Amino acid sequence: MSREKILSLLLEQGDSYVSGEAMSRTLGISRAAVWKAIEALRQEGYEIQSATKRGYRLERAPDRVREGELAGPLSGCHVGSRLICLDVIDSTNTEAKRQAMAGASDGLVILSEEQTGGRGRLGRSFQSPRGTGLYLSALLRPSLPPQEVVDFTAWVAVAVCDGIQAACGVRPRIKWTNDIVLGGRKLCGILTELGLEGESNALDYLITGIGVNVNQRTEDFLPEVRPIAVSLAQELGRPVRRAELAVEIIRALDRMYAGFPDNKAEYLARYRADCLTPGNQVQLITPVSREEAFALEIDDQFRLVVEYPDGRRAALSAGEVSVRGIAQIFPVRLTKRSQHYRIAVA
């Protein structure tokens, strides 16, 4: 923990030096403990310059997602007020569930350098290579009935677009319901899961997991997903510091959560502006049939309104969507109000 606090202090100083004595006094640890933390950070790839009578200055940092780089910029945020940064985990969503069951509080964010069992919707795997993507889950405990959070993932999608724009200067689009795309290919997946109290069926916790392709090269993707997946580095032509991206996405989640559900009109309007699905021909696929339809609009409940060739209209709560020019069909968990559709846009 001393390493993270020392790192945070060095980052706060920017180009200025901070003395070992000042760090010792601020953190309430010995000068020897400060030196040991500095040496440990150097071993991890942090270039820290030392100067007699001046102290230490951080010259260069590796691309790592760790508490020492996040805690300072997230000061004052509720979402991200507590961070767990891991080297490797089966799944950040699974770990968030474990933390929830152990009584962890609202606002916890879990991040990992690698996931060995990353999950997408409908139980599909999510490729999570080490050191190239951003994998995080937020544990939330809103005091709301379960029916009030059915559109929460759509709010998260807008927040993720906000965070990416703030960090990278480019705003991706949303493919209904919650896949984030850039340049016609999938950039980010979102998986929201909730837990109910056993007897009352009241909402106990809400977990939103976010996986962003950040610095992957073409060869880092599995061959079967290379035509349909993209990273920020590929689109921008430069690497992106994952810690900076994590800060901006968590800040955007914090702003969104502070306004949920009261700011629905704002987020609905922004979701409609970001969503690229309406205006496209779609195909609704069930296990036994396929039906053509046209995607008309996003309604006031974030549902996709489609029109069939015979003039019938339906509002779909979830499905799998593929828009013209985007090859992949993405899964979406359905609510009880809708049949299990897979939606493919021609």
- The reported pTM is 0.88
Give me the phi and psi of 16, to 5 degrees please: -90, 160
Whether residue 291 contacts residue 308, with contact meaning beta carbons closer than 8 Å, is answered with: yes
The tens digit of pLDDT for each residue in 280-295 reads 988 776 677 788 889 9
Give me the phi and psi of 69, to 5 degrees please: -90, -20
Please compute, for residue 270, the number of CA atoms within 13 A of its CA located in the half-sphere on the CB side: 17
Residue 49 has pLDDT above 50, yes or no: yes
Q: Does the domain spanning 2-60 belong to CATH 3.90.870.10?
A: no
The tens digit of pLDDT for each residue in 105-154 reads 999 999 999 989 655 544 455 556 778 999 999 999 999 999 999 999 99
The tens digit of pLDDT for each residue in 142-185 reads 999 999 999 999 999 999 999 999 999 999 999 988 899 999 99
Indicate the domain borders of the chain.
Answer: 2-60, 67-274, 281-345
d(CA 94, CA 100): 10
Task: Report the pLDDT averaged over residues 305-320.
Answer: 89
Return the bridge partners of 27, or none.
Answer: none
**Strands, E, within the chain: which ranges?**
47-51, 55-60, 82-86, 108-112, 133-140, 173-175, 179-182, 185-196, 203-213, 281-285, 290-298, 304-307, 313-316, 342-345
Among residues 52, 97, 83, 79, which one has the least CA distance to residue 159? 79
Helix (H) or strand (E) holding 97: helix 92-101
DSSP-derived letter for residue 317 is: S
d(CA 319, CA 301): 15
Compute the CA torsion angle 279, 213, 125, 318 (nearest 10 deg): -20
Give, in order, the Cα–Cα distances in Å from 229 to each of 87, 210, 246, 326. Answer: 24, 15, 20, 10
Gyration radius from the chain CA atoms:
22
d(CA 223, CA 218): 9
Q: Average pLDDT of the chain?
A: 89
Residue 119 has what pLDDT?
53
Q: How confident is the model at residue 263 (pLDDT cuts 50, 70, 90)?
A: very high
Task: Report the pLDDT averaged over residues 39-60.
Answer: 96
d(CA 274, CA 254): 20
For the beta sheet containing 82-86, the strands, ordered from the edge strand earlier in sequence to the opposite edge, are: 82-86, 108-112, 133-140, 203-213, 185-196, 179-182, 173-175
Q: Give every CB contact of residue 272 below 8 A, 6+ residues apart in sequence.
A: 278, 297, 298
d(CA 304, CA 21): 60
Task: Report the pLDDT averaged over residues 80-85.
Answer: 98
Whether residue 179 contacts residue 330, with contact meaning beta carbons closer than 8 Å, is answered with: yes
Residue 329 has what pLDDT?
36
User: Phi-psi bin for 314: left (phi > 0), alpha (psi -120 to 50), beta?
Assistant: beta
Residue 126 has what pLDDT?
55
Superfamily of domain 67-274: Bira Bifunctional Protein; Domain 2 (3.30.930.10)
